[in-house]
Structures are given as structure tokens and as C-alpha cells.
Amino acid sequence: MYGKGLIKGLGITFKHFFGKAITEQYPEQMPNLSDMFHGSFALDAEKCIACGICAKTCPNNVIKIASSKGEDKKRRLDDYQMNIGLCLFCGLCVESCPTDAINFTQDFELACFTREDTVLKLYQRTEDESASQSGEVMEG
């Protein structure tokens, strides 16, 4: 029948026109995200043992870690940065961490104006946390 497709299309349009609105009013209202959603990253520095596995696992050299030996001779974290501009959000770093120290957050508002701003500084040892003698930098 001539015009059958047009009538069918208009039917769908009218169904949605009078149906419940599904448009989300972002940014006034934040969207309901799935628990599985991968946004930015958070580091629990207390849990991090500065093993560098996450940096070595990352296929794009996103993660840079600096560590040193503490007074107890154990390796400790001094600095942890991620260049999110290079990140594939593949999750390999999160999966590989043996202590569950690095995790995804649901923060997806990652737009920025400069390349420097794409670097997430997730941890930096402060002056009063005693400086290191034998520093080491690990990259992927």
C-alpha cells in the first residue's frame, strides 16, 4: 500500500509524543548510571603497595608511579599519576591490582581545556611524610 511506511512512522512518533518522557535533563539532573559504568579513577593510597603492576599492565603507558624505600625498608608510594587523555578505559589496571587500591569511579565529566589538565594526580607524598632516599619511577 502506498504510504504504509509513512503511516507506520507517524504512529511511532505519536506513541512517543504522548508517552512518558525519557529525556534526561543533564546537566541539571545527573543521569542514573549503571553500577558497571566506568568513569574516572580513584586510588586508595593506604592500600597501594607501589608494586607497579597496574603501570606495567596498562597498554597505553597511562600510569606513572614513583616509589621509595621507607624506614621499615618496605617500598612505599610517593607519587601516582594517570594521563587520562591516553586512557582506553579498558580496566586492565583495575583488574590487575592485587590490593584493590585502584578503582573506577562514576565521574564522567572529564572534559578539560589543556593537555596538562588530562593528568590525574591521584597521590603525592607530602613534605612531612619524610622524604625518600632511594626513589624509583615506574612506567608502563
Do residues 83 and 112 touch, judged by C-beta distance below 8 A? Answer: no
Using the Cα atoms of residue 109, residue 115, residue 117 and residue 122 in order, give the sign of their dihedral. Answer: positive
| Nearest residue (CB) to ligand SF4, 24 versus 100 | 100
- Minimum distance of ligand SF4 from residue 139's CB (angstroms): 12
What one-character-per-residue DSSP string does 7-62 give? HHHHHHHHHHHHS------TTTS-----TT----EEE-TTT-----HHHHH-TT--
Minimum CB distance to ligand SF4 smaller for 28 or for 72: 72
Contacts with ligand SF4, residue ranges (CB under 6 A)? 48-54, 57-60, 62-63, 65, 82, 87-93, 97, 99, 101-102
Neighbours of 78 (CB within 10 A): 20
We find the least distance from the C-beta atom of residue 133 to ligand SF4, in angstroms, to be 20
Nearer to ligand SF4, 68 or 101 (CB): 101
Which is nearer to ligand SF4, 11 or 38 (by Cβ)? Answer: 38
The DSSP symbol for 78 reads E
Rounded least distance, CB 20 to ligand SF4, Å: 36
Q: Shortest distance, CB of residue 100 to ligand SF4, whole angstroms?
A: 8
